Amino acid sequence: MAVAFSTLAGGVTAAQGFRAAGISAGIKASKALDLALIVSDRPAAAAAVFTTNRAQAAPVLVSREHLTRSSGAARAIIVNSGCANACTGDEGLAVAREMAEETARIVGCPAEQVLVASTGVIGVALPPEKIRAGLPIAFGALSAGGGGDAARAIMTTDPFPKEAAAKLPLGGKEIAIGGIAKGSGMIEPQMATMLGFVTTDASIPVPLLQRALREAVDDTFNAITVDGECSTNDCVMILANGASGAIVDEDQSTYASFVGALTAVCRELALGIVRGGEGATKLVAVNVTGAATAAEARTCAKAIANSPLVKTAIHGGDPNWGRLIAVAGRAGVQFELSRAAVTIGTIVLFEDGRPHDENAPQAAEYLKGKDLTVSVGLGAGSASSTVWTCDLSAEYVRINADYRT
């Protein structure tokens, strides 16, 4: 069904009853913003999805624990950038717990109603004294207009902040959904995103909120890749405080409308991550059609989107359709070469087992653009999937060659 929503300014504070702040706590040597605080004026239903990486960072472990202990209730999210607090042992867990406890003390809620996230270099100790000193400043800076600062405070190598929001009528009232996200490299979440935080002023039970978040994530954050890497800290969190008075329940119309708008917000954030991928100059939608199943379509699309050969060809504007066919053929999905096809933009380069190299100059011209689509037909069925990726440039190598130094 069509969802009647419209875009909205304000990001994570677009919804009623949420305030945010971003400040410099001195975690980053550059003194850039590095501590974000998001607070709901009332207890909110909370849900999250976390990284599937088995090397899970301390804040991931603590936030999982808090969601269980609170039965999905939260008042605040505290986030730092500049240090991942990952692979830091018992000391790192203690710092993550202290972040929650100090936030709870200042906000005035139980510690289990605080969620924690961190991003930055793995294996480096997070200085708790900087969090302790920064938290009161962040609390004092909270405002309904603070979403932009919070978006900047969670950035690492991101070239720009990511914000999105939407509003829609629901049950005779109007609700808002807004969010911020960060991510630029080490991107193929396999659950959610690098870091993403979403708020809404709708009222929705925790189990339904968790279901809605997973549905939205599947076709947005789980459908992007920059470099095929799954981080130790990936998570997306959502708070729903009910301040609008609108209720989302099992009724198909309200739930479908809510999920539609939530997906739109998450997709805008996810595409922002790909646009801002480390060294990226092009956003690329990889469409796989003619697959035997939706799962096989997604598998093949991810394989194409992660191929260094495909990504470098796109960066160089080379319409090398053979690289796309080669990846499709080795992706481990059903594939019929005699019925396969490759299209760059709307330009057919390979179809039913035959090349159309006479179209290569047109395709090369198309590849000079910044927003691109490449499509591969597998000739094995009717299922399809889209994954978004970016090109691979020398700048990606430069950024990651000296990330720590």
Length in residues, the chain: 405
The DSSP output letter for 275 is H
Amino acid letter, 130: K
What CA–CA distance (Å, rounded) separates 190 from 224? 9
Specify the pairing of strand 195-200 against strand 283-291: unpaired
Residue among 193, 200, 232, 389 flagged as catalytic = 193
Classify residue 273 as exposed, middle or buried by CB count within 10 Å of its CB (0-12, 13-18, 19+). buried
Q: Give the residue among 270, 98, 90, 105 at the shortest CA–CA distance from 192.
A: 270
Amino acid letter, 257: S
What CA–CA distance (Å, rounded) separates 142 from 118? 19
CA distances from 350 to 18, 39, 143, 344 (A): 52, 53, 55, 10
Q: 369-398: string of b/e by CB count within 10 Å (b at 16+)? A: eeebbbbbbbbbbebbbbbbbbbbbeebee
Q: Give the residue among 87, 22, 23, 29 at the shortest CA–CA distance from 53.
A: 87
Q: Which residue has the tokens 């805008």?
A: 268
CA distances from 260 to 62, 116, 166, 265, 268 (A): 30, 27, 10, 9, 13
Copy the structure tokens of residue 355. Answer: 């090349």
Q: What share of the chain is helix, strand, coil (3-state, %, to 5)?
A: 35, 25, 35
What CA–CA distance (Å, rounded) separates 98 from 91? 11
- Does the annotation mark 157 as catalytic? no
Cα 44 off chain centre by: 21
**In 154-283, which ranges are continuous DSSP H helix?**
206-218, 252-275
Active centre residues (catalytic): 193
